[in-house]
Amino acid sequence: MSKVPIIEGTFLLERMPGKGGWTYLKLPGVSSDYRGKFGSVKVSGTIDDYELVNYGLMPIRNGGLFLPIKAEIRKKTGKKEGDNVYITLYADAENLPMATPEDLLLCLQDEPEAYQAYQSCTETERKAFLDWIGEANQDEIRVKRIVQTIDMLLNK
């Protein structure tokens, strides 16, 4: 888990009306760096003293996130609709923004246009570049791939 929570605070438990309506929390949105397919976010953390592991937050229309609260969690925390709970959530490791390796970063800083192009890439595009560079099993190949990446970015 990351050391800094992506969401922390006190939130109100709400319930959808009707039979079988879910109990849930509306949470603020988080950076798109943490979002997976269809805007979902995988997190771990706590609801009061209850530990969540690899729990999925779902996107809602206003840009926020929706956290369904299972009956098991409500029973163990003693909370129900209308109660407040304290949430601390961390992005799961697979959702953390990727760090750009220092050697690539230095080359990008020497080529401002390539750096701008890299910054405008989606997280998926950046991951593809980083995976390709990282798979090089020799320094010579890694350097060649960094050069090719810079060229691709300049021609984007």
Report yes or no on 2 lying in a domain. Answer: no
More confidently predicted of 144 and 127: 144
Please, which pLDDT band fits residue 54 given cuts at 50, 70 and 90?
confident
Give the rounded percent of residues in the chain with a pLDDT score beyond 70: 89
* Cross-strand pairs, 14: 24
Which of 95, 114, 145 terminates a domain? The answer is: 95
Letter string b/e over residues 49-75, b meaning 16 or more CB atoms within 10 A of that residue's CB: ebebeebebeeeeeeebbbebeeebbe
- 19 and 89 inside one domain: yes
Domain that holds residue 148: 101-155
- 47 and 26 inside one domain: yes
- 107 and 91 inside one domain: no
- 21 and 68 inside one domain: yes
- 18 and 83 inside one domain: yes
Report yes or no on 60 lying in a domain. Answer: yes
Helices of type H across 16-122: 71-77, 102-110, 112-120
Q: pLDDT tens digit string along 66-110?
A: 899 999 999 999 999 999 999 999 887 655 456 678 888 888 888
Tokens 């060229």 -> residue: 151
Q: Is the pLDDT of residue 25 over 90?
A: yes
The CATH number assigned to the domain holding 45 equals 2.40.30.100
Q: Give the number of domains in the chain.
A: 2
Overall pTM surpassing 0.85 (yes/no): no
Q: Quick one: pLDDT at residue 100?
A: 76
- 17 and 90 inside one domain: yes
Which residues, including other chains, have CB under 8 Å from residue 156's CB and lie 6 or more apart? 117
- 77 and 12 inside one domain: yes
Q: Which range has the top average pLDDT, 62-66, 127-131, 147-151?
A: 147-151
Q: CA-to-CA distance for 13 and 115, rounded, in angstroms?
A: 44
